[in-house]
């Protein structure tokens, strides 16, 4: 029974983490930008849900669209005003600029909302489905389901719509995309906006289970990193597989070795995957970034 519960724990954790990494993976895959400010978008999404809940009593699940919209706008603005200028610069420039944004956004949040730990206390918090000795909390189950729905929607958008194909085209072949009249800068703004919106959704979902502080973001950025590498960069399914894998490593690391080593295992696996199979466990679906010649 314990093992079944642990599998459930791993799925609940992994599904949410997949959404955490999805936007990060998209931005990386399409634009070859590692967005170190990704975690702050998650933080902002969580605060959106928190304020909507505490000011107007809006359920955090219902504030997801608002969080996504706000973060989309912020992401698009940041892309147009800052990141479009360094998309083609060497890898370091993007790392540093997005890290600068991370410091900036975190500290603005700290200034506005203080370091107080917030949390959203819904009436169904702590309740769940009980099957014998198994427990599935409603909020985590809801988060998993919504994470999967949003992931599926993103997949449909990228695969089935004209706009989605245009976005993917910019990743495959910039010159070709430009030739058929795609405005690359605008596509990038859209992509980064979507990436931020996905982070916002993840943040709103996280607000139902975890504490909210201005500093919460960076640990999610690091996890998004690991998930993208584990699952394979820049594909929707890769993020999903990576997230689930991450969930299983964390949970069964605790079961078999103890809680202390879970991060050590994750990052050791990450390094090994990079060395042996840089394209991740699943290949790449819409990425152009794998053979890029980086360097400073």
Identify residues 180-239 at the interface with another protein (CB under 8 A). 184-185, 188, 206, 209-211, 213, 215, 218-219, 222, 225-226, 229
The end-to-end CA distance of the chain, in Å, is 52
Beta-carbon count within 10 A of 252 CB: 17
124-133 CB contacts, 8 Å cutoff, 24+ apart: 125/208, 132/1, 133/1, 133/5
Binding residues among 74-103 for another protein as defined by CB under 8 A: 77-78, 80-82, 84-93, 95-97, 99-103
Q: Residue 166: which residues within 8 A CB-CB, separation 6 or more?
A: 177, 182, 187
Which listed range, 149-157, 160-168, 191-199, 257-265, lies at the site for another protein (CB under 8 A)?
Answer: 257-265
Phi, psi of 2, deg, nearest 5: -60, -40
How many residues of this chain interact with another protein, rule: CB under 8 A? Answer: 99
- Nearer of residues 155 and 265 to another protein, judged by Cβ: 265
Beta-carbon count within 10 A of 175 CB: 7
Reported in sequence order, the residue ranges of the chain that DSSP labels E, i.e. its strands, are: 128-131, 134-137
Binding residues among 148-187 for another protein as defined by CB under 8 A: 184-185
Binding residues among 4-63 for another protein as defined by CB under 8 A: 5-6, 9-10, 12-13, 28, 32, 34, 51, 55
Residue 66 contacts another protein per CB under 8 A: no
- Nearer of residues 119 and 155 to another protein, judged by Cβ: 119
Minimum CB separation of residue 11 from another protein in Å reads 11
């Amino acid at each position: 029974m314990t093992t079944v519960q642990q599998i459930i724990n791993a799925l609940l954790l992994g599904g949410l983490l997949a959404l955490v990494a999805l936007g990060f993976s998209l931005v990386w895959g399409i634009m070859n930008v590692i967005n170190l400010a990704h975690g702050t978008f998650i933080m902002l999404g969580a605060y959106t849900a928190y304020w909507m809940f505490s000011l107007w009593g809006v359920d955090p699940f219902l504030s997801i669209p608002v969080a996504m919209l706000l973060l989309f706008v912020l992401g698009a603005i940041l892309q147009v005003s800052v990141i479009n200028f360094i998309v083609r610069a060497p890898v370091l420039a993007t790392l540093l600029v997005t890290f600068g944004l991370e410091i900036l956004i975190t500290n603005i949040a700290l200034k506005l909302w203080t370091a107080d730990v917030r949390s959203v206390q819904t009436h169904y918090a702590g309740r769940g489905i009980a099957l014998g000795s198994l427990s599935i909390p409603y909020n985590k189950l809801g988060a998993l389901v919504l994470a999967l729905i949003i992931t599926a929607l993103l997949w449909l958008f990228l695969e089935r719509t004209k706009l989605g194909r245009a976005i993917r085209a910019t990743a495959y072949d910039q010159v070709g995309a430009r030739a058929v009249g795609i405005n690359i800068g605008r596509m990038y703004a859209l992509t980064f906006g979507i990436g931020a919106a996905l982070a916002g959704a993840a943040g709103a979902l996280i607000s139902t289970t975890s504490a909210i502080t201005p500093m919460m973001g960076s640990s999610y950025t690091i996890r998004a990193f690991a998930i993208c590498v584990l699952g394979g960069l820049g594909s929707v399914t890769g993020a999903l597989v990576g997230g689930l894998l991450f969930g299983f490593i964390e949970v069964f690391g605790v079961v078999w070795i103890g809680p202390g080593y879970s991060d050590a295992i994750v990052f050791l696996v990450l390094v090994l995957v990079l060395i042996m199979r840089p394209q991740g466990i699943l290949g790449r679906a819409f990425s152009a970034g794998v053979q890029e010649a980086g360097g400073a």
